[in-house]
Structure 1
Amino acid sequence: MTTSRPGLRPDPLSATHEVFNQPSALEGHNLYQSDVAVQEMVARYGGGRDSADLVRYGALCGQPDIIELGFQANAFPPRFDTHDRFGHRSDQVHYQPAYHQLMKMALSEGLHSTPWTNPGAGAHVMRAAQYYLHSQVESGHCCPVTMTFAAVPTLQRTPAIAEAWLPKVLARDYDPRNVPDREKSALTIGMGMTEKQGGSDVRANTTRAWPIGSGGPGEAYELVGHKWFLSAPMCDAFLMLAQAEGGLSCFLVPRWRPDGSKNPLQVQRLKDKMGNVSNASSEVELRGALGYLVGEEGRGVPAIIEMVSMTRFDCMVGSAAAQRQAVLQALHHASQRAAFGRTLADQPLMQNVLADLQLELEGSLAISFRVAQALDQQDDPAQQLFARLGTAVGKYWICKRTPHHAYEAMEVIGGSGVMENCIMPRLYRDAPINAIWEGSGNVQALDVLRALAKTPAVLDNWLQELAARSGKDARLDRAVARLQDAFRDTADAEYRARHLVDQLSLTMQAALLVDHAPQAVAEAFIASRLGEGGDRQYGTLPRGIDVKAIMARGYQR
């Protein structure tokens, strides 16, 4: 029994304050309908394809339960068992269930297959847009999605391999079981290129391959050696490089042998990474592993470079997605948070920062979707040339700009933006991954120089596309002239390679924006990025920019 005393007041220590002036969680929104820039890209390059699926998928990716999957997949990283409890070698990676849900979601949508199963005008553009939406939920699991997607052109080089593997690789399903591929209806493909001693210099690889029979395309070989980085080791097979008698060659190495026994592709450990935490990356040894030759002996780099080109394209799109999620979080926060008597979004200096972050995304989307259009038109030699240079230039620039972009967006949010139950720390840790994997900045810059040396027409084609916008903006014309002068000077080209690629990227982004973006966007991009000055921080846009119009493109509720 309780009694009350007259005049008893509540304990003054029981409630110290109320929560106010704090933004709501960004959830329950449509990632596609709220993004004006990507809608314009799809309308421009999508070949007239219906965007209804993107509207549907954008709504799905913004739902609270889907967003939570990204947090769960990173809160509980993969763990690894070499053997089962009976002592059998299993090489089993255990993922948090959220990871499998995200994989199921991606593969069921065909993010690994639609341009191959439903090709034609707009196929790569529509797939890129959906991948862009999906990557904003969580990027780590996108690694095996991308590798499976990118492996298809390489597998198609050898009819016997294509016939045996592609039907299940292209299937819109996901089967995570650690069982032989013959027992599955859907398969995923990974790749293992780098070794300890060589890294990006794959010609230094020491893994050896010997034919089991007569050898030749599609035939069985035995591989002995190691791979320093093998991501997503639960994929059903991996494209790998090894030294055969004819030189560096490409092989498809399954996790299981045809008789159902474990292929001796043995995982040594999982990498302990700063980012990309949900995705397992491993070191492996090949102890007489079975592999099938893809293409001809000695033609390993040309065989696997088709896969690398597509993975680099996904790095572009994935990094643009990270930029989108970062600026969206910043705009959402600034629209609801007040300081010093005004909403952050109404303060001129913050407007400068937010508009600048949105401009970065606008340029990233412009060049990414222009490359996607080129991939859709590979029967056109000019589009082939654009895709060849565009993937290297775009991968270099977008991926390298994203880490600082994530940091600036985090700074907009402030203290709550560095808390682990906010998405920003994950975006920040994941941001360098795309810049380093699939060829770091120097590798991309040198690849551009190799492309120019081998096929000078790639630069001529690039400059012709820029010339098509001649006269639309005098500052752009001057920047293109400076670019041409820079390439006429052949001295110390390798030393200057990063600067050259910077200018290739910036001038093309500006040209594309002048061609189709609203005037406020094109004007601000050119004014801030094609000047004569050196490096600049975000939030240093010149006066006269319509910052409110630019911000409005990034935040549609």
Structure 2
Amino acid sequence: MSHSIDVSDTHQVFNQPAPLQDYNAYQADEVLQYWVQQFGGHWGDSKLASFGHQIGHELLQAGFQANKHLPEFQPHNRFGQRVDQVDYHPAYHQLMHHAVHNGHCSFAWTENQPGAHVIRGAMAFLHNHADPGSGCPLTMTFASVPAIAVQPDIAAKWLPKILSGHYDGTNKPWYEKQGVTIGMAMTEKQGGSDVRANTTVASAVAQAGPGRLYQLTGHKWFCSAPMCDAFLVLAQVDNKLSCFLLPRWRDDGSKNPIHIQRLKNKLGNRSNASSEIEFRGAHGWLLGEEGRGIATIIQMVALTRYDCMLGSSALMAQAAKEAIWHTSRRSVFGKNLHDQPLMVNVLADLALEAEAALAISLRIAHALDHSDDPQQAALVRSSTAIGKYWICKRAIQQTYEAMECIGGVGYVDENVLSRLYREAPVNAIWEGSGNVQCLDLLRVLQREPDTLQVLLAELQKAKGRHPLFDQKLVVLMAELTEQHNIELRARQLMEQLALLWQAATLLVYGLPIIAEAFIQARLSDIHYHQYGTLPECIDARAIIARAMPKV
């Protein structure tokens, strides 16, 4: 007698974990809460809890929608008029509204008390869990404040709108909006990071000088978030590189001739539009003196580099959490994945790396909260380059390794891991690649000897707390003293500095179990480069338990 088989019997879904969703992304993150508290952000706990609730619920879904329905470029309207319009899915505007309304761009500037940068940093970290792409215009808007403040008359008009906490994604003049967003455009085809090679030119419309109107002609190879209300750009004024603020609309209500040539098709960062643009006599205000363009815009660049650290730290943390969550609810070869010793080693290693990245990122936030102290300001100048170089590179391998923990289902677009992996390289490339960070650090340390002493003093806070740390610090001091071929050795120095700074931060501010594990894994003479190579002495299960989302 034949046995009939129900077709549905062939597709019973089991041993597949539920997705990490519908949770409070802040309250579920023990590690983030710890470092916010350590660096003085305790007074923002309720705000971050509210922010994290929305991130883990509706905004998580908005992130998937914004990355599925990509920005679309409309160069002309149906009547043939040039409009240079980029249309976004409503989910993108939902993400932007939530972040701006809650102070992603403004909180650090409007809350005049220590811990504001730390709390704002935690918001940026959490927003990345929903969607890293929309973090780009948010970062630029946040970072534009010091550069625009260089020119008081322009700042008086623009800063109230930047700091308003109001998001308006419509395509209309800036002066008709309660709130605005700011972008930047520096890169040109022939120069890349060498902005002094820029060929865009500017000349005064009438009277020359700071705050005056100029017209710009030229081409920019990359302009991220082209629907921002204004852009900080660099242009030559009689071969003097200068900084300008260019609005998308002129004061008379006409469209400023900032022409979008195309949107870039990118590996990641898909919810965010990145464009190639031309200025055809576009009007913009000079910020500061002619010839002081780099000095002006570097204030914005320094903060966007810091946000690259935060963004990559968020990618690493989210990747580790996704891997830990998935494997805790999946069985293979007759055992739960969390009971497989090799998987335990990999997961703990991922969690350890993510915590070290977050620790130094929020250490910089803490320094920004005290930037009126010359030593803290000097620490920001040196350590941002170190952090951006190291964390942004580590994020690429980290997100891949977490994807491998999940397996094939992690490789498909329905899973967030594929997005994290595609996203990871952009922070390493944007705002100066690894070599640029190395050269910038060498330049600072050679021109500002006191800055080097501040950086070393930060490391020496941990001196005497662990013999391995002390040994490696002695080696580093000798390497820094030796100037022969220092540029050739710059990446070696960067790696040493990064590992020792992370170790010092964990020793001084972190939990002993995490500091000890990091030092044993990263500073020992036998140091492996692949994840999952922690020595036996480390309590890997305790590290995993700390990183496990508390859902």
TM bucket by the smaller chain?
over 0.9
Following superposition, the deviation at residue 10 of structure 1 comes to 5.3
Corresponding position: 1:225 with 2:218: yes
Equivalent in the alignment of 1:4: none
Select the residue among 87, 92, 97 that pairs with 1:94: 87
Contact (CA 8 Å) 1:219, 1:293: kept in 2 or not?
A: yes
Show CA shifts across 1:96-138 (max 9, x none): 1111111111111110011111122001001001111111111
Matched letter for residue 22 of structure 2? G
Which amino acid counterpart does residue 259 of structure 2 have in structure 1?
Q
Partners of 1:521 and 1:548 lie apart in 2 by 12
1:296 Cα deviation after fit: 0.5
AA partner of residue 224 (structure 1): T
Rounded Cα–Cα distance in structure 1 between residues aligned with 2:160 and 2:8: 64
CA–CA separation in structure 2 for the residues paired with 1:386 and 1:455: 12
Change (3 A) 1:50 1:420: closer
Distance in 1 separating the partners of 2:274 and 2:7: 50
- Write the deviation string for residues 506-538 of structure 1: whole angstroms up to 9, x where unpaired: 101001111232222111100111123465100
Shift of 1:453: 1.2
Q: What CA distance in whole angstroms lies between the structure 2 residues aligned with 1:331 and 1:407?
A: 14
**TM-score of the aligned structures, taking structure 1 as reference length:** 0.97
SS state at 2:17 partner: coil
Does structure 2 retain, via aligned residues, the 8 Å contact 1:246–1:297? no
Match of 1:339 among 329, 332, 337: 332
Choose which of 54, 61, 73 in structure 2 pairs with 1:68: 61
- SS where residue 499 of structure 2 aligns? helix
Aligned-CA RMSD value: 1.3
Matching residue within 33, 44, 54 for 2:38: 44
* 1:366 corresponds to: 359
Ranges in structure 2 where 5+ consecutive residues have no aligned partner = none
In 2, the alpha carbon distance for the partners of 1:266 and 1:511 equals 49
Partner of 2:406: 413
Q: For residues 149 and 50 of structure 1, do their structure 2 counterparts lie closer, same or farther at Cα, with a shift above 3 Å needed?
A: closer
Identity of aligned residues (%): 53
Number of the residue aligned with 1:254: 247
TM-score normalised over the length of structure 2: 0.98
**Residue 126 of structure 2 corresponds to residue 133 of structure 1:** yes
Structure 1 residues 111 and 14, CA, compared in 2 at 3 Å: closer, same or farther? Answer: closer
**Aligned pair 1:29/2:29, yes or no?**
no
The farther-off stretch of 169-178 and 348-357 is 169-178
8 Å Cα contact 1:34/1:554 also seen in 2? no
Aligned partner letter, 1:448: L
The answer as to 2:481 corresponding to 1:488 is yes
State how 1:462-501 maps to structure 2 within 5 Å. Answer: 462-501=455-494
User: Letter of the aligned partner of 1:316 in structure 2?
Assistant: M
Using the TM superposition, name which of 532-541 and 373-382 deviates more: 532-541
Paired AA for residue 503 in structure 2:
A
8 Å CA contact 2:44–2:119 kept in 1: the answer is no
SS of match in other structure, 2:138: helix
User: 2:299 and 2:528 mapped to 1: Cα distance?
Assistant: 34
Preserved CA contact (<8 Å) 1:486 1:500: yes
For residue 3 of structure 1, what is the aligned residue in structure 2? Answer: none
Q: Give 1:14-413 correspondences, 5 Å limit.
A: 14-46=8-40, 48-63=42-57, 65-245=58-238, 247-413=240-406
Q: Tell me how far apart the structure 2 counterparts of residues 14 and 529 of structure 1 sit (CA, whole Å).
A: 50
Query: Post-superposition shift, 1:40?
Result: 1.3
Deviation at 1:554, TM superposition (A): 0.6
Per-residue CA distance 1:480-499 (angstroms, 9 max, x = gap): 11110110111111111111
SS at match of 1:227: strand
Q: Which amino acid aligns with 1:77?
A: L
Aligned residues of 1:245 and 1:297 also touching (Cα < 8 A): no
Q: Distance in 2 between matches of 1:339 and 1:355?
A: 19
The separation in 1 between residues aligned to 2:36 and 2:318, in whole angstroms, is: 18
- Residue 443 of structure 2 is matched in structure 1 by 450
User: Matched residue of 1:260: which SS?
Assistant: coil
SS state at 2:9 partner: coil
Q: Measured at CA, do residues 44 and 12 of structure 1 come closer, stay the same or move farther in structure 2, by a change above 3 Å?
A: closer
Q: Deviations over 1:358-383 (max 9, x none)?
A: 01011101110110011011111110
- Structure 1 residues not aligned, in runs of 5+: 1-6
Against the structure 1 CA distance between its residues 14 and 348, is the aligned structure 2 distance closer, same or farther, given a 3 Å change threshold? closer
